[in-house]
Structure 1
Amino acid sequence: MKRMNATSKGWILALMTGIACNSPQQEAATTAETSDSAAKQENKVMIPASACYTGQSGKDSFFLKTEIFPNVVTGTLSYNFFEKDKNQGAIEGVLKGDTLLADYTFMSEGKKSVRQVAFLLRDSTATEGYGEVEEKEGKMVFKDPAALSFAKGIRLQKTPCGER
């Protein structure tokens, strides 16, 4: 029997180590870990921060529900004016600091309309903002959102979302 020299032994050891490192079990385990990581990232569910607000002025009542995601705010808004048509619809907009600026899409008198709304969200209240408006691309928008006034706006109180 022929003796192996050190170079041959090193080469065989390297070959066996390479085969062992690339065994099907290890490859499968690595693939499974990678797949599990990808699946965990894909199944990530964004739960919005929800809040509901209600208000009353005489016989008129108001309801606002917000669902705040990292880059958008959605929800519903209702104006229930006594002995007049109810305005009820959806909002979609952005939160800049404590000010919500959103498009309000609603039905009133059988007609679909879109207008911009603003609410100052502080502590346990949502106060509607008012300002000069103009029509742009089929909807009413604030001329200068930075100049909105919240002093005389409808003031809604935070309530549990199950009540209404």
Structure 2
Amino acid sequence: MNEPIQAVDLVARLKERRATVATAESLTGGRLAARMSEAPGSSEIFLGGAVTYATEAKVKVLGVAQEVVDEHGVVSAECARAMAEGARRLLGSTYGVSTTGVAGPDTQEGKPVGTVFVGVAGPNGTDVVPLALDGDRESITNESVAAAVEALVAALEGRPEE
């Protein structure tokens, strides 16, 4: 992974493009929203976020289709896509960024600890970045936040995620 993007740089990049962002989180439990709001000036670009830890919250708050949950589970690219699109729609932002996955200590939906999906929905469509992370719960969560920020920057710059 590259050098982490500093919050102040992210705010500057979003302001430069007159873009706003909303978050939809599961395994990161609000850490992504905290990252988005930590720099001065973030109130101009960060509209808010939803921590939808429970499956029912993903469906009720973000509008993730029950069919997506039933067919693919919440630890899936399809769910990350729907969450990012739901955050964008819910808050009327330029971009929606989502995190869903397994931080541990146990597997979920038969998927191993460290399986993470980051979604970024924007004016040019929605991309999902699959991750296979190692480490404990805290390091997986922190790496997921960093990957979500990097995915947002990639979308802002119009470059495909690696």
TM (normalized to structure 2)? 0.29
Structure number with the higher helix fraction is 2
Higher strand share: 1
**Greater relative contact order (Cα < 8 A, sep 6+):** 2
TM-score with structure 1 length normalisation? Answer: 0.28
